[in-house]
Amino acid sequence: AQSVAQPEDQVNVAEGNPLTVKCTYSVSGNPYLFWYVQYPNRGLQFLLKYITGDNLVKGSYGFEAEFNKSQTSFHLKKPSALVSDSALYFCAVRDMDSNYQLIWGAGTKLIIKP
């Protein structure tokens, strides 16, 4: 079965430091991977996606993600965190077995401290 895991419920980072939010996946075939962000009481906003090509994907708000096929990971990164980056982050993978829907990770709460 295809799946995606976000091993950390919460990540705490000081403002100005680099941040990483982890995501690992299990799929048959080539993965289509996504990152979304959710601010309190709002819908999810698209950050970036990996379909094919370069392993480093650049997205919105200065975020990027590194696709690593051998480690089946797609970690979200940002070189210098802002307090406004504090939010809930979701990783998703396209399910090739079930009508190609997105399978969602449980989410990681990112807290950036001033």
Q: Using CB under 8 A as the criterion, which residues of the chain lie in contact with another protein when the complex forms?
A: 32, 34, 36, 41-46, 49, 51, 90, 92, 94, 99-102, 104-107, 109
7 Cβ contact partners less than 8 Å away, ≥ 6 residues apart:
22, 24
| Cβ proximity to another protein, 77 vs 109, nearer residue | 109
What is the nearest approach in angstroms of another protein to the Cβ of residue 111?
Answer: 13
Give the C-alpha distances (Å, rounded to integers) separating 28 from 9, 58, 69.
26, 25, 12
Smallest distance, Å, CB 41 to another protein? Answer: 7
Nearer to another protein (CB atom), residue 45 or residue 68: 45
Our CB check for another protein shows the closer of 15 and 22 to be 22
Residue with tokens 């941040």: 19
- Measured from the CB atom, the residue of 44 and 82 that comes closer to another protein is 44
- Could you write out the DSSP letters of every residue in 4-56? EE---SEEEEETTS-EEE--EEE-SSS--EEEEEE-TTS-EEEEEEESSS-SE
**Measured from the CB of residue 92, what is the shortest distance to another protein in angstroms?**
8
User: What type of residue sits at position 62?
Assistant: G
